[in-house]
Amino acid sequence: MNITIDFETSHLVFPTVIGVILAILGLAILVRDRRRIAAAGSYWRETLGWMDKKRFFGTLVLTLIYFSLMVPVGNFWPNTGYGFLFCSVPFVFLSGLLFMHDWTLRGIIPLAIVAVVGPTFVWWLFTYPLFLTLP
Amino acid sequence: MTITRRYLLAAASAAAMLAQPMMAAAQDLPRNIRLVIGSTSTGGDTYQNSAIVADALSEKLGVNIKVDAVGATEAFKALDRDSRGTTMMMFHDQSYLGNLYGVTGYDNPFENYTVGPTVAINPGNAYLVPKDSPYQSMEDILAAAESGERVRVAIQPGGVSEIGFSAMKNAARLRSPGSEENIVAVNTGSQSDKNQAMWDDLADVINGSIQANEQFTQLPEDDQKAMRFVWVTARPETLEQAPAEGMGDTTRDQLLQYAAPNSSVPVNEEGENFTFDKEFFFLFNQETPQEFIDAVDTALAEIYEEGTIQERQKAAFFIPNYLPTEEAQQHLQDKRSTYEEVISEISGDAS
Amino acid sequence: MFEIITPLFLSLIVGGVFVGIVFGAIPGMTATMAVAVSLPLTYSLGLENGLALLLGLYVGGISGGLVPAILLGIPGTPSSITTTFDGVPMAQRGEGEAALRIGIVSSLVGGLISLLILWLFAPTLADFAIRFSYVEKFLIIFFALSVMAALSSDMLLGIFSGVLGVFVSLVGVYDISDGGNGELRLVPPGTEYWLDGGFALLPVLIGLFGLAAILEEAERGVPSAASSDEIAIGKSSSFSFSVFRGQTLNLIRSSGIGTFVGILPGVGGSAASIISYTNAKTFSKHPERFGKGEPAGIMASEAGNNGLTGGALVPLLSLGIPGDSTTALLIGAFTLQGIQVGPLFIGNNPTTWNAMIFAMLIANLVMFAMMYFAIRYFALVVTVPKHILFPVILMMCVIGAYTINYGIMFDVWTLLIFGVFGWLAVKLRLEIAPFIIGFILGPSAEVYFVKSLESFGTLSIFFTKSWIAVVLWILIAGSIAGSIAMSRKKAGQVADPS
């Protein structure tokens, strides 16, 4: 069982081994669960049927916008962390609204306070005492 | 719903008002500077050295400087993205050695970035053998290679750890062409891996450092962990500046015994000795305003004039080494061409 | 040595433990980060006092991770992943408080046992640890990986998930600093700019456990009740020390495993709790209860990860080599003060050594006292309405992902990618626990496997290298046989409902 490994190509050894194992296991699953896999279409239709689309996709979209804006916004004030601060406040507030069921003042006011105080405190904590870089 | 909209509007305009004075406050010199470094470790020498320099610089310039240990590839990326001078980088010879050895993620720093002032040297790069090794000196190692004995050297390929190894091969080639084939690399990672390679008898010589390996050289010979220095790559004039007490129980004079010219690894036919000092220097984005680089240069000159930073550097076993931008560029370019030659001489058989 | 025990020394430990617990308890922030940001402070504090602070942070940070692991199902640190397995089911049954208490007591036991081992045997153990070459280290990792089978409810899918985790962890360069050749692999063309460093562990972890859980909640419409209705924690929940009856062996074994895994440089902290957890499961009389809220599972996991604290200091103080990422930072504290760590450290610096042991002892006791009496306040987190809790958790995940590697935006995107993947994986019946274990252990498995072959040139070396290798194979075989027997039993139960 002698094996010579050339250092130049050694980065491919393990991925190949793992890839082959993965393929074998994947094949085994395909064979064993073929019925379930064949029924995937109806499974997903069902899932999409009962899922709360507004909240699920709303969360995804908000998160995408949040992540995308952080760096460009932060670039206006380099290395201050304002990108994080100015994006987190609306994100916390809007996603809170999205998750909230009854939009009442009694519900919204605490959320608004958390949405302003939370990110501001975290921003202060990371910028000053912890001295870490934020976007 | 209307309530929420109104709240949103109010919040947005409040944020806008908050932002205005901050934009107005922005001055010529950025108030907040990020110093990215070529290492991901906040316990390592690059970070320590950068922290010492950043502290002094931040005080002198009156700005905030945060040291971010993002690692070489990410640091170069961060530098690429920012031409305003709000991001600087601190790294050492690895930045061009990585490029010379063709490592992924390394461009030629002299072409793609502006090389800035040097600030310090870590004089610790060394090669060690087991304490009971037959090799007493580099001379023994080169002679062994000449006589056909295989000498295995544990290094981390692609940079600072490999350059001394390349020099060894080059010296073997000069001494007896073909014998460099007998000096072979054992490619490992961290210092702990290199030590382990020695203890597992996978390597006859390992790359290490004065700081990390000195205590192992003090162990009795019957301890399987015991090691011995065979080569300290620093220039003798660098070591001269180290504290006389040296490191641990090894004095500066003892360390000098392992450095050129006492421990000699020739770099050319004329018999010049190969040396390597790990020098830390700044790197800037090429479009960084010249005024900014000048400001950093002037501030550093004043800092080194005052002399307190040297104390801090020496306490952490760094050799103070301030060269202003222009001198630094010339010096590092020269250094790079020497090493480029060494690497090209042995290329083809370098692993 | 008593002259170093000043009020400042003690208050730094207490402060360190407190801040450490907070860092550990907030998803996305870790013990490593707590130590990293405090490192510069130690310069002005002096060595002993600086170490008091850092060790307090270390012990607190590792321990704090159990709180979100149990209450929110989000491991606060990678080493508390296995705590979620039984902690969450207990919390859902309304036994969150009991689960927290079990975790805290086990953490204390783990911390103290490993400290004792550190104090008595550090140099001897270090000499033993260096007998673990690439081969033995690979086998240890392989042993930890072999538990994937035991952790999954569907063995085939579980193993597939674990292997997939290993596969994903290999994306990017074969890291030079781990001994690789720095070449890219498994990176789709066009994505090299982002993927050259692969995916970072912490963003993957909080994506899979944090964001994915929130997406699942969003999918179900975020049931409006405050979380406390599901995770009841009230005073009604019963806890008495009697749950520890019959668990002495488990606690000692898990602490011992944690300590030993900590001693091996390069094997990594997360393996400690994973190996102790499976061992507890294998040796338990009721292995089927694991993963469904078995107190012994929490004990094993928490004793294991706190056992790490003393263990990781062994190679640091007797070889100058850190045992995990947090102790790697401690080296910085020593060199900042001009102190060398290496084989002579303990002999040359008896005062510092004693101060460290003493600081660890106090830190463990303070950690216990603080956490035990703060349980009520931890519990408050579950009374926060979800529409406030979730956005804040998301924000903390973002900040954790961004700051863990000192400001890399791709880490934040990684969080999103693996959040979506985690949600999708549940739909596809892939299993998250084996996946993350594979992901964590993958890179070390690769390096040690490839280096073993590179150095010895034959596959048989894995069997013939040393008696340690043989012992490890016996353990691996036992672990695999155990999982097969259990899955047979499970299958038998399904077939025969009597």
Measured between beta carbons, the chain C residues lying within 8 angstroms of A100 are 224, 385, 387
What pLDDT score does A80 carry? 92
Please state the pTM of the whole predicted model: 0.91
| Start-end of H helices in C130-207 | 134-151, 155-169, 192-195, 201-206
Identify whether the C-beta of residue B77 lies closer than 8 Å to the C-beta of residue B132: no
Please tell me whether residues A19 and A72 are part of one structural domain.
no
Task: Indicate if A35 and A61 belong to the same structural domain.
Answer: no
The one-letter code for the residue type at C176 is I
Express as a percent the part of chain A with pLDDT over 90. 77
Per-domain residue ranges for chain C? Answer: 2-131+240-388
Q: Are residues A40 and A75 in the same domain?
A: no
Say whether both A19 and A44 belong to one domain.
yes
Under a CB-based contact definition with an 8 Å cutoff, are residues C158 and C148 in contact? yes
Position C2 scores a pLDDT of 66
Chain segment B179-215, per-residue pLDDT in tens: 999 999 999 998 999 999 999 999 999 999 999 999 9
Q: Is the pLDDT of residue C108 over 60?
A: yes
- The 3-state secondary structure of chain A reads CECCCCHHHHHHHHHHHHHHHHHHHHHHHHHHCHHHHHCHHHHHHHHHHHCCHHHHHHHHHHHHHHHHHHHHHHCCCCCCCHHHHHHHHHHHHHHHHHHCCCCCHHHHHHHHHHHHHHHHHHHHHHHCCCCCCCC
Q: Which domain holds residue A93?
A: 52-127
Q: How far is B320 from chain A (nearest CA, A)?
A: 26
Q: How does pLDDT run across B103-131, given as a tens digit for each residue?
A: 988 999 999 999 999 999 999 999 999 99
The answer, for A104 touching chain C at a CB cutoff of 8 Å, is no
End-to-end CA distance of chain C: 66
Indicate yes or no: CB of C181 within 8 angstroms of CB of B187: yes
The answer on pLDDT for C498 being more than 60 is no
Which among B1, B7, B34 has the least Cβ separation from residue A79? B34
By C-alpha distance, the chain A residue nearest C385 is A100
Chain C interface, mutation test: which of A33, A50, A53, A63, most C Cβ atoms within 10 Å?
Answer: A63
Pick the CATH number of B125-274 from 3.30.230.70, 3.40.50.620, 3.40.190.10, 3.40.30.10: 3.40.190.10
Q: In whole angstroms, how large is the CA radius of gyration of chain A? A: 24
Going by their DSSP bridges, the two strands B319-323 and B278-285 should be labelled as: unpaired
| Residue in B with minimal Cα distance to A126 | B66
Residue in C407, C245, C110 with CA at minimum distance from that of residue B74: C407
Q: Provide the number of structural domains found in chain A.
A: 2
Chain C CB within 8 Å of residue A85 CB: no
B241 alpha-carbon distance from chain centroid: 18
CB nearest to B66's CB, from A8, A103, A133: A133
pLDDT bin (cut points 50, 70, 90) of residue C235 is: very low
Query: What pLDDT, on the 0 to 100 scale, is given for residue C224?
Result: 64
**H-type alpha helices, C337-431:** 345-348, 350-379, 386-404, 409-427
Question: Is the pLDDT assigned to residue B14 strictly greater than 90?
Answer: no
DSSP state of C207: I
* Per-residue pLDDT, B246: 87
Alpha-carbon distance of C242 to B161, in angstroms, equals 56
Taking contacts as CB-CB distances below 8 angstroms, the residues of chain C near B248 are 340, 342, 344
* Residue of A18, A70, A95 with shortest CB distance to C170: A18
Residue C202's φ and ψ, nearest 5 degrees, are -60, -45
* Residue C187, pLDDT score: 94
Lowest mean pLDDT segment, chosen from B268-277, C224-233, C276-285: C224-233
Q: CA of C98 to nearest chain B CA: how many angstroms apart?
A: 38
B30-123+277-341 and B125-274 share one fold:
yes
CB C151 within 8 A of CB C301: no
Q: What is the mean pLDDT of chain C?
A: 88
Nearest-angstrom CA–CA distance, C479 and C170: 25
Distance CA C364, CA C313 (A): 15
Looking at per-residue confidence, does C377 or C114 come out higher? C114
Q: Which residues of C touch B156 (CB under 8 A)?
A: 176-177, 179
State residue B168 phi and psi, 5-degree precision. -60, -45
Same domain for A63 and A93 = yes
CA distance B51 to B212: 20
Whether residue C67 is predicted with pLDDT greater than 70 in this model: the reply is: yes
Tell me how far apart the alpha carbons of residues B123 and B318 are, in angstroms, rounded to a whole number. 7
**Which fold, B30-123+277-341?**
D-Maltodextrin-Binding Protein; domain 2 (3.40.190)
pLDDT tens digits, B18-60: 444 333 333 467 889 999 999 988 888 999 999 999 999 999 9
Phi, psi dihedrals of residue B8, rounded to the nearest 5°: -60, -45
H helices of C28-133, where? 31-38, 41-45, 47-64, 66-71, 81-92, 96-129
Cα distance between residue C174 and residue C187, in whole Å: 12
A34 and A58 housed in the same domain? no
A93-122 residues touching B, CB cutoff 8 A = 93, 97, 103, 105, 108, 112, 116
pLDDT digits (tens, 9 = 90+) for A35-74: 999 998 999 999 999 999 999 999 999 999 999 999 999 9
Structure confidence at residue B275 (pLDDT): 96
Q: Is residue A135 in some structural domain?
A: no
Query: Taking a C-beta distance cutoff of 8 angstroms, is the pair B180, B346 a contact?
Result: yes
A14 touches chain B (CB under 8 A): no
| B79-103 mean pLDDT | 94
Chain B residues with CB under 8 Å of A7 CB are 157, 187, 351
Q: How far apart are CA B51 and CA B92, in angstroms?
A: 14
Between C28 and B26, name the one with better pLDDT: C28
User: What's the pLDDT at B20?
Assistant: 40
Q: How many CB pairs under 8 A join A and C?
A: 171
pLDDT(C229) > 60: no
Interface test with B, best of A10, A105, A133, A134 (most B CBs within 10 A): A133
CA distance C4 to B82: 47
- DSSP per-residue string spanning B222-244: TSTT-EEEEEE-S-HHHHHTS-T
Residue C377 — pLDDT band, cuts 50, 70, 90?
A: confident
Cα–Cα distance between A69 and A72 in angstroms, integer?
Answer: 6
What is the separation, in whole angstroms, between the first and last Cα of chain A? Answer: 52
∠ CA C5-C10-C13, nearest 5°, is: 125
| Bigger pLDDT: B22 vs C433 | C433
> Is A134 among the domain residues?
no
User: According to the model, what pLDDT value does residue A57 have?
Assistant: 96
Same domain, A43 and A56: no
pLDDT tens-digit map of B232-256: 999 999 999 998 888 889 999 999 9
Question: Can you tell me the distance from the alpha carbon of C133 to that of C124, in angstroms, rounded to the nearest whole number?
Answer: 17
Nearest CA in chain B to C326: B43
Count other C-beta atoms under 10 Å from residue C493's C-beta.
11
ipTM tops the 0.85 cut: yes
| pLDDT tens digits for range B205-231 | 999 999 999 999 999 999 999 999 999
Q: Tens digit of pLDDT for each residue in C128-169? A: 988 999 999 999 999 888 877 777 778 899 999 999 999 999
Structural domain spans, chain B: 30-123+277-341, 125-274
